[in-house]
Amino acid sequence: MTDHTATAAHAFNDTLSVIASVEPRIADAIRSELADQRVSLKLIASENYASLATLLTMGNWLSDKYAEGTIGHRFYAGCQHVDAVEAVAAEHARELFGAEYAYAQPHSGIDANLVAYWAILNARVESPALSRLGARTVNDLTEADWEALRAEFNTQRVMGMSLDVGGHLTHGFRPNISGKMFHQRSYGTDPTTELIDYDKLLADAKEFKPLILVAGYSAYPRRVNFARMREIADAVGAVLFVDMAHFAGLVAGKVFTGEEDPVPYADIVATTTHKSLRGPRGGLVLATKEFAEFVDKGCPMVLGGPLSHMMAAKAVALAEARTRPFRTYAQAVADNAQSLAEGLLKRGVRLVTGGTDNHLVLFDTTTFGLTGRQAESALLDAGVVTNRNSIPNDPNGAWYTSGVRIGTPALTSRGFGAAEFDEVADLIVGVLSSTLPVTASNGQPGKAKYTLADGVASRTKARAAELLDKFPLYPGLELT
């Protein structure tokens, strides 16, 4: 493939000078963000670096067009180019994932999940009610029928993975709208192995009888057997909805195949496009034919007008994900996670589930006598960017936590391999072994404050710089 870095460098420099002529602080912030990303060990499992082509696709006049509706059926005139963009994004998504239908409009992961939930409610609750009442749309219902239908929406049930074992807020938890829309019951993991216990999940689902079984996670370091999830959904008549936001890149890159690939098993799959998939910030929904027409109503059902410039960037990133180098990348993400996990294990760190077989590792910071918050902060002082995360039965709750989640997608994009991730494990252990919790004023163990031994942060940054210099971010892209 032709290397367009020099051209892209000109484009970014010219763009920044145009921006600076209007609001220099914004140009400065954009430059500084790149500078910071270049010198940080970015280990946040949900972050990545999009390609220059993907980044360049986002800034253009597609942004200026309103295009509510769907391909060929818009509420505004003059949408032929948006139609073309959305069609290409959907085509790549369908072919990449082997899906019957793809919808490229969601602006984020939460939006994608909302589109999925309302598609399921429309297909399984509203549509049968309309048929029963001889109505074509909700506008044909009497007030009494409408009230009855709303009551029916409000009694639906969803079952998703518990937050403290790695589930996501959008899987029916109260701080998110999904927890206000549905009655929710969580499934946990086995207390000993910390793995999903499918037999227990089946028994719980039989008791709870959810309309929707949600599979997917944001902090579970293991693969999911979607064939088992399908069996469980079928056993209770539930719709199987998979949120693959975290591992979409591993599905796209054919690391997760067979029973680990959600697409052949799920009714609806939602994802973000910016995590392991390495695209622009946004969402995507895949669906079977049964749900396609309902997913297609996402805008204006729950989405504002499509961000056409972002759909264009999704199309570019999805085209990249269909190439052989992307498959090599995805396999390296998984291999590197093994190396990172082994590097921590051999240095005495407890990992939730004892390891990983996806792109992320969740380690127990009580290994070092620290809360997740203290560990996250000390690591950041040393230029290692992570995020704190609950672990199963977390004694420190969801704010301070007892875990740190790390992942390999971003640094693998820079070219890090197994040896570099072993070195990263060494840096993490070096920092946290030199961090002490500070006792709170009431004499209780502090949960936020800590001290990091002198010199550790600068020594870690220097060692990290040696690694990062070998694998520069956007090599050849010099900002002037």
Q: In the complex with ligand DSN, which residue's Cβ is closer, 111 or 364?
A: 111
275 is catalytic: yes
Distance CA 347, CA 364 (A): 13
**H-only helix segments in 271-371:** 289-295, 298-301, 308-321, 324-345
The C-alpha atoms of residue 51 and residue 37 are separated, in whole angstroms, by 14
Q: Is 157 a catalytic residue?
A: no
* Cα angle value 431/437/443 (rounded, 5°): 175
Size of the site for ligand DSN (CB under 6 A): 3
To the nearest whole angstrom, how small is the minimum distance from the Cβ of residue 45 to ligand DSN?
7
Nearer to ligand DSN, 110 or 130 (CB): 110
Selected catalytic residue, list 275, 314, 461, 463: 275
Closest to 364 measured CA to CA, from 162, 221, 461, 244: 221
| Rounded CA separation 347/274 (Å) | 32
Among 54, 113, 178, 218, binds ligand DSN (CB under 6 A): 218
**In the bound complex, what is the minimum distance in angstroms from residue 196's beta carbon to ligand DSN?**
18
Q: How far is the CB of 306 from ligand DSN (least distance, A)?
A: 21
Question: Minimum Å distance from CB 60 to ligand DSN?
Answer: 27
Considering the candidates 272, 408, 412, 460, report the single residue annotated as catalytic. 272
Consecutive H or E run containing 148: helix 143-154
Q: How far is the CB of 300 from ligand DSN (least distance, A)?
A: 24
Residue 173 half-sphere exposure toward CB, CA atoms < 13 A: 16
Q: Does 46 bind ligand DSN (CB under 6 A)?
A: yes
Closest CB to ligand DSN belongs to which residue?
46
Site membership for ligand DSN, residue 403 (CB under 6 A): no
Choose between 218 and 371: whose C-beta lies nearer to ligand DSN: 218
Cβ 176 to ligand DSN shortest distance, Å: 10
Q: Under a CB-based contact definition with an 8 Å cutoff, are residues 307 and 63 in contact?
A: yes
Q: Rounded to an integer, what distance in angstroms lies between the CA atom of residue 182 and that of residue 113? A: 13
Phi first, then psi, for residue 74 (nearest 5°) are -110, 160
Clarify whether 388 is annotated catalytic.
no
- Which stretches of 58-108 are DSSP H helices? 80-97
Least CB distance from residue 461 to ligand DSN, whole Å?
A: 24
Nearer to ligand DSN (CB atom), residue 218 or residue 434: 218
Between CA 378 and CA 241 the distance in angstroms is 38
Residue with Cβ nearer ligand DSN (202 or 340): 340
Whether 66 is a known active-site residue: answer: yes
Cα–Cα distance, 159 to 208 (Å, whole number): 8
What whole-number distance in Å separates Cα of residue 391 and Cα of residue 351?
Answer: 10
Site string for ligand DSN, 65-104 (x = CB under 6 A): ----------------------------------------
Q: Which of 83, 89, 90 is nearest to 69 (CA)?
A: 83
Q: Which of 69, 106, 109, 305 binds ligand DSN (CB under 6 A)?
A: 109
Nearer to ligand DSN, 109 or 305 (CB): 109
Q: Which of 126, 243, 394, 423 is catalytic?
A: 243
**What one-character DSSP code corresponds to residue 475?**
T
113 near ligand DSN, rule: CB under 6 A:
no
Any bridge partners for residue 407, and if so which?
360
Q: Would residue 68 show up in a list of annotated catalytic residues for this protein?
A: yes
Q: Which active-site residues does the annotation give?
A: 66, 68, 243, 272, 275, 281
Give residues in contact with ligand DSN (CB under 6 A).
Answer: 46, 109, 218
